[in-house]
Structure 1
C-alpha cells in the first residue's frame, strides 16, 4: 500500500521491457505480504505439522493482493492527476512507460481474481469464514486509494495497512494450519503490523510536501516532518520492546531475540530521514525502512523455526 507523489523531483529514467511490469508491482512493498504469512506459518509449526500447499496458496494470494493494491494505487492516483513523469515512489507504468491506465486496472482485478481462486482452495482446506475475511482484505486494498474518500488520504492509512497486512495475515496463516488462534499468535502479530505500518509512515514522510499540496491529510502531515520521524523511531522501538515483553512472559522463545540484529538497519532508516526535505533524498531512508521489515520478519521467523527443534 504505497502512495506516491512529488511534482518537484527530477526526471526519472524510464523502465523498459520486463522491468516496466516488475516496477508496477512495487517490489519493495511485497515484504508486507510474504513476511506475515511466513511468521504465521512458522508459529503454526509449534502446534504440529503444517500443510505446505496451504502455505504456498496463502503466500501467493497475499502477494497478489498486495501487488493488486499497488496497481489500484497507480491507477487512481493517475486518474486524480497526482502522478507525473517525475513522481518518486511509484511504479510509473502509466505516466513514464506508456502503459494504458485501463490495462493497469484490469491487471489489478485479474490479480484479485487469481487470489480469489486460491482463497477458494484455502477455504476448502479450512473454513469458509476465511472467504469473508479475504473479501474484507481485498476491499481494504481497493479502497486504500479507490472510492470517494481513499484511506491513503486520511490519517488512518497506517492503522489499516498494519492491521490487514500485519495482524490479519499472520492470524489467517496461523489459523488455516491449526484451526485455532492462540494468545501468542495474536501478540506476535503486533510487532509485524507495526513494522508494516512503518513502511507507510516512511512513505508519507517522503511525500509530505506533495501530499499536503494535493489536499491529503496523512498522519505525517498532521504530525509534521520532525514529529513524524520521531514517531517512526517510536514504532521501531515499540516493535523490539514487544519482543522483549513476550520473551519475559513466556510467549516468545529466546531465539526471537535474533530480531535485535536488525536494529542497525532501523537506526539507519531514522537517521537518513533527519535533515532531508527532497523526496529523492529520502529514498535511501524509505529503502532502509522496508529492509528493516524484511530483516526483522526473517529473523523472527528464523528464531521461531529454530526454537521448534530445540
Structure 2
C-alpha cells in the first residue's frame, strides 16, 4: 500500500493525498447520511413517548455507520475483483484502482469495521433485547452479500428494495425500539418514505452505471427498465415519499410540522431533470448527488418537524 497517492489537478499541478484522506474517501462519505439520518429520525420519534438515552443513540449511530462503511468497502473489494472498477470509474472510493491499496487491506478494513459494529451491538443488546443480535447479524449478512457471494444482491433487481428496508426502515425501527422497548405503527409508517429515498439512492447509482453493469452481466432494475423508464421510476419513488408524509399528516398520524419536508422538493426535481437524456456516467454525477442530498435534506427536515412536534 502506498502511503501517498498523487494526481494532477485542474491546473496541471501534482497533488499528493495522505493515507488518511484516501481512507476517508474509501468510506464513501457522501453515502453515510443514508445510515445517520434514519437513526436520528427513529430516536427523535421515540422522544414522543418518553426520555431517550444519549449513550444508546450514540452506540446505534456508530454501529450503523460502521456497518455501512464495511458494506462500502466490500463493494470496493468485490467490484475490483470482478473487474467492474477502473481508474475512470465514478462514484467509488478508488483506494485500490487509483491509490495503490492492496485488495487484502480493504477487505481487512471492512471486517474490522464489522468487528467494531459487533462490539457496539453487544452494548445495544445488553441495554435492550438480545433479539436484536439476530436482526443485526441478518443485516450484516445482507451488507456482505450485497456485493459478495456467488450472486451479489447488487447484480439483481432487489438492490433497491433491500437497501431501503435495511438502511431505511430497519435503522429507524431499531433506533425507536431500543429507546422505547417496543415497535408501534407510527414508527413503521414513518420509516417507509425514508426507506423509499434510500432505495432511490441505489436506483440513481444503478441508472448512472447501467451501461457498464449490463456489459458485466448484471441484471439491476435500471437495466431491466432501460434508462427512460428507470428515470421515470425514480421520479415515482420521489413523489411517493413526499405524498406519504402528506398522507400521514392528513390521516392525523403526524402533526403538520413534518410537512416541512416539502422545502426539500427542489433537490428531487433537480435529480430528475439532470437524469433525463444523459448518456455518460460522468454527466449523471450531479443527478446522483442531488438524489443523495434529497435523502439527507428530507431526513433532516423530517427530524426537525418531529422534534418540534414534541415541543408544541
Please tell me the TM-score bracket, short chain as reference.
over 0.9
Report if the CA contact (8 A) 1:194-1:235 is conserved. Answer: yes
- Which residue is 2:173 aligned to? 171
Is 2:109 aligned against 1:107? yes
Deviations 1:86-132 (A, max 9, x none): 11111000010001100000000000000000000000100000111
- Which residue is 2:29 aligned to? 27
Partner Cα distance (2:301, 2:263) in 1 = 8
Q: How does 1:117-266 map to 2 (within 5 A)?
A: 117-266=119-268
Report if the CA contact (8 A) 1:166-1:196 is conserved. Answer: yes
Query: Cα–Cα, structure 1 residues 298 and 228, in superposed 2: closer, same or farther, change >3 Å?
Result: same
Report if the CA contact (8 A) 1:33-1:165 is conserved. Answer: yes
Structure 2, unaligned stretches of length 5 or more? 1-13
Q: TM-score, normalised by structure 1?
A: 0.95
- Which residue is 2:17 aligned to? 16
SS at match of 2:43: helix
Report if the CA contact (8 A) 1:82-1:214 is conserved. Answer: yes
Report if the CA contact (8 A) 1:73-1:145 is conserved. Answer: yes
Partner Cα distance (2:269, 2:55) in 1 = 37
Partner Cα distance (2:17, 2:218) in 1 = 32
- Which residue is 2:56 aligned to? 54
- Which residue is 2:5 aligned to? none
Report if the CA contact (8 A) 1:14-1:96 is conserved. Answer: no
Deviations 1:131-169 (A, max 9, x none): 110000100000000000000000000011000001111
SS at match of 1:16: strand
The structure whose RCO (Cα within 8 Å, separation 6+) is larger is: 1
Partner Cα distance (2:86, 2:237) in 1 = 31
Q: TM-score, normalised by structure 2?
A: 0.94
Equivalences, count: 298
The offset of 1:51, in angstroms, is: 0.2
Partner Cα distance (2:111, 2:284) in 1 = 31
The offset of 1:252, in angstroms, is: 1.2
Deviations 1:60-110 (A, max 9, x none): 000000010000000001111111111111100001000110000000000
Structure 1, unaligned stretches of length 5 or more? 1-12
What root-mean-square deviation, in Å, do the aligned CA atoms of Structure 1 and Structure 2 show?
A: 1.0
Q: Which runs of 4+ in 1 moved over 3 A?
A: none
SS at match of 1:87: coil
Deviations 1:230-281 (A, max 9, x none): 0011000000000011111111110000000000111001111111110001
Report if the CA contact (8 A) 1:15-1:97 is conserved. Answer: no
Partner Cα distance (2:259, 2:253) in 1 = 13
Query: Cα–Cα, structure 1 residues 62 and 14, in superposed 2: closer, same or farther, change >3 Å?
Result: farther
SS at match of 2:265: helix
Deviations 1:27-73 (A, max 9, x none): 11101110110000000000000000000000000000001000000
Report if the CA contact (8 A) 1:14-1:97 is conserved. Answer: no
